[in-house]
Amino acid sequence: MAETRSGAETVDLEVRVKASPETLWGFLTDPQKMTRWKGRTAEIDPRPGGVHRVEISDQVKAVGEYVEVEPHSRILLTWGWEGHPEVPSGSTRVEVTLEPDGEETIIRLRHADLPENERAIHADGWRHYLDRLSIAAAGGDPGPDPNESAQPGK
């Protein structure tokens, strides 16, 4: 389960996964592997300036672009929701780091520049998806994503 820490304008989460950074990297950079844990479809080009677009449901689409990519260790990208008035496409930053720790990997996710009233819902969403990623990367099936029928801001 993901651990949450609060910061000014950030959501910080940490989770241990029974998988190597190399395995996890595929789940962060390969559209087919990504949709096993997050989104119905994914268009991702993990290189600086490359697109990051994940359709969660008909109404909910995360859109941004990659800023920094360090294979098997770190991704920094812009993030937002298509058509969202408070967190529009590309308006925030998400950083994911992978730190090997024996047979496991520590995933740290920091979502920065979020408006105060959006932090709790984004923390809940990221906890949900990090838990699903943990299952998928360890070889399990996280099952259908209940968020596929989500409405914006829900």
Q: What is the DSSP string of 96-116?
A: EEEEEETTEEEEEEEEES--G
pLDDT in tens, 66-77: 999 999 999 999
Q: Write the burial class of residue 68 (CB in 10 Å: 0-12 exposed, 13-18 middle, 19+ buried).
A: exposed
pTM: 0.90
Among the four given CATH numbers 3.40.50.2020, 3.30.530.20, 3.40.50.300, 2.30.30.280, the one describing domain 3-141:
3.30.530.20
Interhelix angle 21-29/119-137, rounded to 10 degrees, is 120
Ranges in the chain, pLDDT < 70:
1-8, 150-154
**Measured between alpha carbons, how far is 123 from 101 in angstroms, rounded to an integer?**
24
Alpha helices in 2-82 (DSSP H): 21-29, 31-34
Residue 2 is predicted with a pLDDT of 46
Residue 146 is predicted with a pLDDT of 92
